Amino acid sequence: MSSMRPYRLFISLISALILASCGSEPAKFADVDSQRLLNAAATPEEWLTYGGTYDEQRHSGLDQINADNVAQLGVAWTYDLATERGVESTPIVVDGVMYVTSAWSVVYALDAKTGKELWLYNPNVDKAVGAKACCDVVNRGVAVWKGKVYVGVIDGRLEALDAATGELAWSTITVDQSKPYTITGAPRVVKGNVLIGNGGAELGVRGYLSAYSAATGDLVWRFYTVPNPNKQPDGAISDSALKDIGNLTWGDEGAWTTDGGGGTVWDSIAYDDVNDSVIFGVGNGSPWNRDVRDTGKGDNLFLSSIVAVDAATGAYKWHFQTTPGDNWDYTATQTIILADLPIGAGGATRRVAMQAPKNGFYYLLDAATGKFISGEAFVPQNWAQGLDVNGRPIENPEARYGETPFMQNPGPLGAHNWQPMAFNPELNLAYIPAQEIPDFYASDSLFEDRIQSWNTGTNLAAGLPMDLDLATAMALRATLKGRLIAWDPITQSARWSVEHSNAWNGGVLSTAGGLVFQGRLEGEFAAYNAVTGEKLWHQNVKSGAASGPGTYEINGEQYVTITTGWGSAYALAGGSAYDQPVPPIVGKVVTFKLGATGTIPDPNLVMAPRTPKADRFGDQEMIQLGFDKYHFNCRVCHGPLAISSGVLPDLRWSPISANADVWQSIVLGGALSANGMVSFADTLSPSEAEAVRAYVIKQAHDGAALEAEVAALMAAQVATP
Ligand code: HEC
């Protein structure tokens, strides 16, 4: 085991000498500058930025933990994040301190060796803001720079904290807070500017990326990804790109003129230091349905695009649109990875930008020009026949759905979502946390804009069964698939692939130890052989393991870490996606090292009694009305078919379902609006709210019967030798 490379040993000796000569020097916290960030790949002891390095490869040079010894990996420490809501954070580790976030944008500084809490910062978000969050009140992490820690807060604030104490240094509001904007993504610091985007395109906003001075919090530049409703200049750096390119691809009428058009920059931001470009991913259209969004039926740039701008000024350089005229929530916000691949003339390297967006195709672009090099589907999909020579999809006409539901793969949750992919530059392999979550698309004939509510222009009840018997439940569950795919971007084909038992699995970490780490929805965290895909080690982390794992080294010991917790956007797929009912479980940071023998505390498995709280009521017409209204208004938080993912209350078992008056006081009266359960008085009449209750009670009776049936089947299986 010779993980300590000579140069690192040398550096350690030097720093020991420096420390010895000025022993009273105060400890430095997050002492990160441009040089250190640019050099991150050569200092794998630290994890300095969300994607590990500016090129977002999530590949660590550490090799102490490798195929020969990974079986000895054990729990070094755990830290309780004290939230039952979704956790998606990748920890930053620098100068011995781990900076990590959890739900509601809370930031924690921990001793990276022991997990001991150094400080905690709570931005004290008004919980009512939860109603704006499409996909739970998650946060994917912080950025660090010159003694400060930067966090994007779910309510649209960008804040700078003192890295030593957690005290607020500055705070600025980056969005119009009267609109349904949220921030879930991790900021990046490039050239002294903090880059931050936002989300909200399900409810209706206009997307942009902003750069703020890391020192002062002043706005330096802003790039809007779609025109404003009048196609007039904003006085922003995006003005000329929108005038010359963007505006021409939008009509003058449609819901985009009131809904903002979408195009939020809610996740990936890479920095290409060779070309001095910031390259970011742009999200879906708002509303989703293009017929409703833009009667002009154009490509709607820069929706679903990868955009490159000048790093210092934000001036437009190039774009590549993955899904012209997005109609399906096909964001191109997924991980953008930069790499040098031997694909030039005579084996020369060519600098590329790569992405595996929601639409299911893997793209290879020239990082300098954005020119399409190649692309291929990495999952089975039925919306396009392939890509043309320019990388434009050749659409299956049925995918431009009407009122008849079309079952499409990928669905809105995508063939790959926010869970970060990784790239091993020694093997030239990308590792994609891929999934199949097909869904029905159909237009909503009664579409009208609803403030502070989902506005997709699609029928959110399309294709779902009114009655859930065992066969239907099993058929639905069987459509959900997940894979870890080792993808060769040069040949655009899978080298190997590991089939998982479910979709919505975790982000990926690649290491020079020849390993690939990935968590799974059901709580398994595993290491695979990077070359063969053979599973070499696994541990049950006792909660959902969806985040991107990280690795670092302290005093010559390598650590591997992951944040856990149920939740995140799987609320959208709901509890029917799980094989077992999921209890609320508190999220954690779980950190491993070789030879450690710690344990992960057992979760608190107390679940509310899963029994109907009232007798069935309502005739067929009322139940049908309740089914429709439920799926249009409640599905996105309480789960399809009224089956919760375990994060927000499962209405079937709620005592409130038994009491018509209390139900109305919450659903229409807004009695719990301070907690993110908004009033639906603008969209539902009292009799419609009561119809929703009738449907929920029906689902409680059907669900209890179904669970009894499943339990009996499982008992019979155990009894049969
Ligand atoms: C934007 C997300 C969101 C949507 C959409 C939503 N809810 Fe809720 N709901 C919540 C949250 C969060 C809570 C928990 C509030 C609390 O902790 O007090 C909740 C709680 C409830 C409760 C109380 C349950 C209990 O046992 O405490 C009821 C009843 C309820 N919701 C009904 C509905 C109905 C009916 C709809 C659709 C018309 C709906 N909700 C849509 C977020 C949502």
At residue 17, does pLDDT exceed 80?
no
Nearest CA among 370, 293, 285 for reference residue 324: 285
How confident is the model over 669-679, as pLDDT tens digits?
A: 999 999 999 99
Confidence of residue 569 (pLDDT cuts 50, 70, 90): low
Within 8 A by CB and 6+ apart from 318, the residues are 307, 308, 369, 370
**pLDDT the model gives residue 18:** 43
**pLDDT the model gives residue 254:** 95
In the chain, the N- to C-terminal Cα span, in Å, equals 46
How confident is the model over 516-541, as pLDDT tens digits?
A: 999 998 899 999 999 999 999 999 99
Choice among 19-23, 117-121, 276-280, 545-549 with the minimum mean pLDDT? 19-23
Q: Whose CA is nearest to atom 5 of ligand 1?
A: 634
**pLDDT the model gives residue 21:** 44
CA 561 – CA 549 distance, rounded (Å): 6
Q: Whose CA is nearest to atom 41 of ligand 1?
A: 634
At residue 11, does pLDDT exceed 80?
no
Atom of ligand 1 nearest to the CA of 454: 5
Average pLDDT over residues 612-625: 98
The proportion of the chain whose per-residue pLDDT surpasses 70, expressed as a percent, equals 93
Ligand 1 site-directed mutation target among 132, 632, 677, most atoms within 8 Å of CB: 677
Within 8 A by CB and 6+ apart from 543, the residues are 523, 564, 565, 566, 585, 586, 587, 588, 603
Average pLDDT over residues 223-230: 97
As a whole number of Å, the CA-based R_g of the chain is 25
**pLDDT the model gives residue 25:** 63
Q: Whose CA is nearest to atom 1 of ligand 1?
A: 131
Average pLDDT over residues 237-256: 97
At residue 457, does pLDDT exceed 50?
yes
**pLDDT the model gives residue 550:** 98
**pLDDT the model gives residue 27:** 78
Task: Tell how far the Cα of 591 is from the centroid of ligand 1, in angstroms.
Answer: 34
Nearest CA among 246, 264, 260 for reference residue 204: 260
**pLDDT the model gives residue 567:** 65
Within 8 A by CB and 6+ apart from 525, the residues are 506, 517, 518, 519, 538, 539, 540, 541, 545, 549, 562, 590
Is the separation of the CB atoms in 407 and 438 below 8 Å? Answer: yes
**pLDDT the model gives residue 584:** 67
Cβ of 100 below 6 Å from ligand 1: no
**pLDDT the model gives residue 452:** 64
Task: Tell how far the Cα of 655 is from the centroid of ligand 1, in angstroms.
Answer: 13
Ligand 1 site-directed mutation target among 672, 682, 687, 696, most atoms within 8 Å of CB: 672
Q: Which residue has the higher pLDDT, 572 or 308?
A: 308
Nearest CA among 203, 211, 201, 198 for reference residue 266: 198
**pLDDT the model gives residue 711:** 85
Task: Tell how far the Cα of 677 is from the centroid of ligand 1, in angstroms.
Answer: 5
Confidence of residue 644 (pLDDT cuts 50, 70, 90): confident
Averaged pLDDT score across all residues of the chain: 93
At residue 403, does pLDDT exceed 80?
yes
Ligand 1 site-directed mutation target among 136, 182, 625, 637, most atoms within 8 Å of CB: 637
Average pLDDT over residues 53-60: 98
Average pLDDT over residues 245-271: 96
